[in-house]
Structures are given as C-alpha cells and as structure tokens.
Structure 1
C-alpha cells in the first residue's frame, strides 16, 4: 500500500510512501493546519532556506555548514567554540537548545515595533497633551 492510516480515539497519522520522488518541503508544510501548531522542527533539508541550528559532532567528521549557509542562526557542537557571533551551545545540553528554540519562536511571534510608528510628544496632537 502506498498510504497507511494509524488511528486511535485521540489521534491519527497518515503515512504516504513517495518512492518516485522526495516530497517537496513546501508541499509538506501545506499539510499542516497552521492554527494548530506553534513551531515546525525539521531535520535534514540542508539546502532549503529557513532558520537552522547547525548540529555538529566532531567524531562524525563531516564539514561545517557554517559560515557557508547564511540561514544558520545558532550552533550546537561538542567541539571548541567557533570564532562566530552566533549563539553557541553544547550539543549535549538539550535544555539550552530547547530554551534557544523557545526564545527564537517567542521573538519571531512578537510584534515588531516600528520606530516611525511610535507615538511621542512630537507626533501627538496637542489635544492629547496635558
């Protein structure tokens, strides 16, 4: 079967095989109900432009993606700190990584204040001044 549905009283999951081609990342994102999620965590997809935390284990021996990928927002590694202004965490400190992700999502959701839209004494009508 190319599709399989796993269901219980409280949840369900639809699994679809795509042997002919890898599913497009943008298509997969459309499968979500945006009203029911806070964040999407993605593993892999190195060639797609979205915010990334580079996870790097020295023993694996793979080359760093940073600084060649401008979408990297932080680094989690088991080696010495890099010469970088990016936030850096120990790859084994899951609490620090989780806290970084939560803060990043919170900051992204926060309304961006525009300096020119801010009210000050110079922009308010005299009727508002006492």
Structure 2
C-alpha cells in the first residue's frame, strides 16, 4: 500500500534530505554520562531535523543541537525537543525526530541557507 506523503506529513515546514554533521547534548533530563554525541542527520526543515544515533533519548528530552556548516564556522546552535523515536535500519541504532524550540535569528538564517544548498 502506498502512503500519501501529504497526509502523513506532520511538519509545518518543508523538509529536505541533508546529511550534515550534527552534535547533540541532552539538557533536560540531564544525563551527565551521555554528554555530547555525534549523530548523523537524515533530513532538515526550518522546524526540526531527523538524526540517526547510537543512543535513544527519552521522549520530550530537551537537547542542544549544533549543526556544522561551511558558512557558519562556529556551527548553528538551536534548542530542540525529542518528539519521536524509532529503531533505525542498522542494528543498535535509533532515529530521533527533534523539533526546534528555541532558534535565534542567526541560527534561523543559517538553517535557511542549508535548506537552499
């Protein structure tokens, strides 16, 4: 059965495939053992991104997200919340849906630039 993408799509912003470098740091609930972790981005929109990670984070976890981009040498930083978790195709890996909660103007501009590239 074929899924209708327009019906299934829950994002308010258009998403694009983007395999950039991303780091996430759990903030709430605080996980000192987890610390900063490298994850692989799968797609990106103005309102969030999907990443693949070796660790699952609890739903509603607040995370600091830092995306690496050529035009932003210090990275693009936003605060997000884990809104869904799903097993990835690779064994012992997870897909995480992160919705952006706090995005500054500089970060928003950087994300829009990434979406155009």
Q: Same fold (TM over 0.5)?
A: no
Which fold has the larger relative contact order, with Cα–Cα distance below 8 Å and residues 6 or more apart in sequence?
2
Q: Which has the larger radius of gyration?
A: 1
Q: Which has the larger strand fraction?
A: 2
- Point out the structure with the larger helix share: 1
* TM-score, normalised via structure 2 length: 0.30
